[in-house]
Copies of this chain bind each other. A is one copy, B any other.
Amino acid sequence: MDDETPRVLEANRSFYAALEHRNTDEMDECWSHAEDVACTHPGWHRLDGWDEVSRSWRAIFTNSRAWRVRCESERALVSGDLAIVFCIENLEAVGGQGDPARMQATNVFRKEGGAWKMVHHHASPMPEVEASEEEDTVN
């Protein structure tokens, strides 16, 4: 395991903490503010550049209700100043009745000024069906 892996996973956890807290200052702190960052929220087109990405988080936090966010099945690849974390996101409305929403995420981090900053977030909904059912429906 690369020495930087624990720091990358910590950066990934900070992102999910900011998401759970719906805190724009924390989210700002997680991300690189560069022009080349990108973000694909579930069911959205890709947003390019920090201006678009930061606006999207503000919109999400303004409109969303309190939720618990849990990240599981994390796997990290690290090389030099670039790192990728694959994980599953569980988002559950506080006091809600329904099942948690489950997303698959690919998160990319870049080391900037010694700190790991998010430069890309791609999340998409997990299928509801079991793997064995699903493979029958490949087309």
Q: List A residues at the B interface (Cβ < 8 Å).
A: 36, 38, 40-46, 56, 59-60, 63-64, 73, 75, 77-84, 86, 88, 104, 106, 108, 110, 119-120, 122, 124-127, 131, 134-135, 138-139
Q: A90 → chain B, closest Cβ, in Å?
A: 14
The answer to whether A122 and B104 touch across the interface, beta carbons within 8 angstroms, is yes
Closest to A60 in B: B138
The answer to whether A77 and B122 touch across the interface, beta carbons within 8 angstroms, is no
Q: A101 → chain B, closest Cβ, in Å?
A: 11
Closest to A40 in B: B104
Chain B residues contacting A83 (CB-CB under 8 Å) are 82
How far, in angstroms, from A82 to B110 measured CA to CA in the complex?
12
How far, in angstroms, from A83 to B77 measured CA to CA in the complex?
11
Instruction: State how many copies of this chain the complex holds.
Output: 2
The 5 closest A-B pairs by CB, nearest first: A124-B124, A80-B80, A79-B82, A79-B80, A106-B122
Centre residue among A78, A83, A106 by max chain B CB count within 10 A: A106
